[in-house]
């Protein structure tokens, strides 16, 4: 509880520190506008046009429904891989044999291109929610698994000994000694897993479904509707940036205050 309060208390100063980031985003938009002036509206619509299209789209209920569909798929997929990846990773980390055995498997999972998973999933599950969710799970699972695995593998033996010498009860050992260390590995893995999920969900939708933002992107492509395509890209990036910089980063800073 205190922890949440502290995050909220530090939030304004964190936001105030964001001017540099905003300046660089504006610089990027300026470059984008230059591109528009050189190549014309069909190839690269201007930022203004894109944001106008975006505003119109957000008023349209069907678009909001598409966004919700995509959000649902991404969160179910990410949620499942977060749960399974963290639990299996922690378990594997506690046993030397399990961590040695899991390494090559993780390499296979990471090395397998997501597009190949999508093809397989389309054959296995058909065109629908399952295919997308499955692809999201297989793509983000290894990242989270490896984070959790490393978190437990790198626990400090000296600190364990210290905990033994003070005869800490099991709950203190877990919450005061193991958890903060493991969390400092798992949390960044969750963040990258989330980013991965968000990218993969769009790709899977584009290829395998008829609804969701990814499917809208496919429609925009076939109609050569560049402003809509760019507006969808803006939605994707803006939502990712919101989650990463407004929600996760302040938590991460607070959690990792002790790090040098």
Partner 1 sequence: MEKLEVQRLNHSFGFSEILRDINFSLKKGEVLSIVGPSGGGKTTLLHLCADLLDVEEGSVTNTFSSTSFAFQDARLLPWKNVIDNIAIGLLAGGAKKADAIKESKEIALRFGLEDKDFDKFPKDLSGGMRQRVSFARALVVKPSLLFLDEPFSALDIGLKKELQAILIDMISNKEISILFITHDLMEAIRLSDEILLLKADPGHIVKKFSYDMPQNQRDDKYVYGESAKILQDNEIIDTFELELK
Interaction with partner 1 in 54-113: which residues (CB under 8 A)? none
- Indicate the residue among 3 and 11 with the shorter CB distance to partner 1: 3
From the CB of 169, what's the least distance to partner 1, in Å? 6
- Indicate the residue among 20 and 157 with the shorter CB distance to partner 1: 157
- Indicate the residue among 126 and 180 with the shorter CB distance to partner 1: 180
CA distances from 14 to 151, 208, 254, 257 (A): 28, 40, 11, 14
From the CB of 163, what's the least distance to partner 1, in Å? 8
- Indicate the residue among 13 and 165 with the shorter CB distance to partner 1: 165
Cβ atoms 121, 63 nearer than 8 A: no
- Indicate the residue among 62 and 260 with the shorter CB distance to partner 1: 260
Cβ atoms 191, 244 nearer than 8 A: yes
Number of helices (H), then strands (E), in the chain = 13, 0
If one asks whether residue 257 binds partner 1 (CB under 8 A), the answer comes out as yes
If one asks whether residue 41 binds partner 1 (CB under 8 A), the answer comes out as no
- Indicate the residue among 177 and 207 with the shorter CB distance to partner 1: 177
Concatenate the DSSP letters of all residues of 161-194 into one string.
Answer: HHHHHTT--HHHIIIIIIHHHHHHHHHHHHHHHH
From the CB of 252, what's the least distance to partner 1, in Å? 14
- Indicate the residue among 29 and 168 with the shorter CB distance to partner 1: 168
Distance (Å, whole) CA 98 – CA 145 = 12
Distance (Å, whole) CA 148 – CA 166 = 27
Residue 98: other Cβ atoms inside 10 A: 15
From the CB of 256, what's the least distance to partner 1, in Å? 9
Interaction with partner 1 in 161-200: which residues (CB under 8 A)? 161-162, 164-169, 172, 176-177, 180-181, 184
If one asks whether residue 2 binds partner 1 (CB under 8 A), the answer comes out as no
From the CB of 100, what's the least distance to partner 1, in Å? 21
**# of chain residues touching partner 1 (CB under 8 A):** 20
Distance (Å, whole) CA 52 – CA 142 = 39
From the CB of 190, what's the least distance to partner 1, in Å? 18
DSSP symbol at 16 = H
Distance (Å, whole) CA 103 – CA 108 = 9
Interaction with partner 1 in 139-168: which residues (CB under 8 A)? 158-159, 161-162, 164-168
Distance (Å, whole) CA 230 – CA 238 = 12
Q: Give the interface with partner 1 as residue ranges (CB under 8 A).
A: 158-159, 161-162, 164-169, 172, 176-177, 180-181, 184, 257-260
């Amino acid at each position: 509880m205190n922890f949440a309060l502290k995050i909220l208390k530090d939030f304004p100063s964190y936001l105030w520190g964001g001017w540099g980031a905003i300046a660089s985003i504006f610089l990027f938009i300026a470059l984008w506008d230059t591109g528009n002036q050189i190549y014309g509206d069909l190839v690269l619509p201007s930022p203004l046009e894109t944001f106008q299209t975006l505003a119109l789209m957000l008023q349209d209920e069907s678009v909001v429904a598409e966004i919700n569909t995509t959000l649902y798929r991404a969160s179910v997929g990410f949620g499942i891989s977060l749960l399974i990846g963290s639990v299996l990773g922690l378990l594997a980390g506690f046993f030397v044999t399990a961590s040695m055995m899991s390494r090559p498997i993780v390499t296979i999972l990471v090395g397998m291109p997501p597009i190949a998973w999508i093809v397989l999933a389309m054959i296995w599950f058909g065109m629908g929610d399952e295919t997308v969710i499955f692809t999201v799970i297989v793509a983000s699972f290894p990242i989270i698994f490896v984070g959790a695995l490393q978190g437990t593998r790198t626990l400090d033996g000296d600190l364990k000994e210290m905990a033994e010498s003070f005869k800490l009860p099991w709950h203190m050992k877990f919450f005061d000694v193991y958890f903060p260390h493991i969390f400092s590995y798992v949390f960044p893995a969750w963040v990258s897993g989330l980013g991965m999920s968000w990218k993969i969900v769009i790709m899977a939708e584009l290829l395998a479904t008829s609804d969701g933002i990814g499917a809208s992107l496919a429609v925009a492509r076939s109609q050569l509707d560049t402003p809509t395509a760019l507006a969808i890209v803006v939605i994707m990036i803006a939502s990712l940036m919101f989650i990463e910089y407004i929600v996760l980063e302040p938590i991460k800073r607070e959690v990792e205050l002790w790090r040098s």
